[in-house]
């Protein structure tokens, strides 16, 4: 049976076999063009902070960023770059909002999302999909997006800057929650 399948495949795809085997350089077979998104499609994940709500907010939408600025969120630059639409190898980065805490949080982890909605008190609610991110760092050029949470000011804070993450934790205000996703650097 194995022999006859092989004979059939070679009979049907003789040209394809020789082209793939002979002419593609090794390098092009090793790139992950099928499993990674195109970084050129990524958008800045714009960061702002509300002092009154002690709430970090992130969006790829300049329109939404302006709406939050009008509500008193101060600009804090760009946290990194994520995809506005789903690309190969990416998953949704869910944005949740806790109205009781005035806290926006973001997660690519479905179990965490469920727990934040169904277990955390007061509960988070689904807000939107903030964009699309990677669950690991296997795609070239991606870096960890760290997540810190403050129980004292009920704020979720995200940064790709490890020094900033460490200092948020050493300040005693935030607890390190680890890596929320892998994204592209801001610049």
Positions that interact with ligand NAG (CB under 6 A): 113-114, 117-118
> Can you tell me the distance from the alpha carbon of 137 to that of 58, in angstroms, rounded to the nearest whole number?
21
Least distance from ligand NAG to the Cβ atom of residue 112, Å: 10
The total number of residues written for the chain in this structure? 187
- Which residue number is nearest to ligand NAG in terms of Cβ? 114
Nearer Cβ to ligand NAG, position 19 or 125?
125
Write out the two tokens for 133: 């991110």
Write out the two tokens for 69: 């600025």
Nearer Cβ to ligand NAG, position 69 or 117?
117
Least distance from ligand NAG to the Cβ atom of residue 116, Å: 8
**81: CB partners within 8 A, 6+ apart:** 39, 42, 43, 44, 45, 183, 184, 185, 186
- Which residues, in sequence order, are bridge partners of residue 101? none
Least distance from ligand NAG to the Cβ atom of residue 127, Å: 12
Q: Provide DSSP, 17-47.
A: HHHHHHHS-HHHHHS-TTTS--GGG-EEEEE
Nearer Cβ to ligand NAG, position 68 or 124?
124
Nearer Cβ to ligand NAG, position 114 or 170?
114
Burial of 47 from C-beta contacts in 10 A (0-12 / 13-18 / 19+): buried
Nearer Cβ to ligand NAG, position 168 or 180?
180
Least distance from ligand NAG to the Cβ atom of residue 94, Å: 9
Least distance from ligand NAG to the Cβ atom of residue 107, Å: 11
């Amino acid at each position: 049976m194995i022999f006859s399948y092989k004979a059939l495949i070679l009979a049907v795809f003789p040209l394809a076999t020789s082209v793939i085997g002979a002419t593609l350089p090794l390098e092009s077979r090793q790139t992950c063009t099928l499993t990674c998104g195109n970084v050129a499609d990524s958008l800045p994940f714009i960061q702002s902070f509300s002092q009154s709500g002690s709430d970090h907010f992130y969006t790829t939408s300049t329109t939404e960023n302006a709406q939050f600025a009008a509500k008193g969120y101060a600009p804090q630059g760009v946290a990194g770059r994520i995809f506005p639409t789903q690309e190969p190898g990416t998953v949704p980065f869910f944005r949740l909002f806790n109205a009781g805490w005035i806290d926006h949080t973001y997660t690519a982890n479905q179990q965490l999302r469920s727990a934040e909605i169904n277990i955390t008190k007061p509960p988070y609610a689904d807000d939107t999909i903030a964009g699309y991110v990677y669950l690991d760092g296997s795609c070239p050029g991606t870096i960890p997006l760290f997540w810190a949470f403050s129980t004292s000011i009920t704020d979720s804070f995200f940064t790709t800057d490890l020094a900033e993450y460490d200092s948020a934790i050493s300040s005693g205000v935030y607890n390190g929650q680890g890596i929320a996703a892998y994204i592209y650097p801001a610049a």
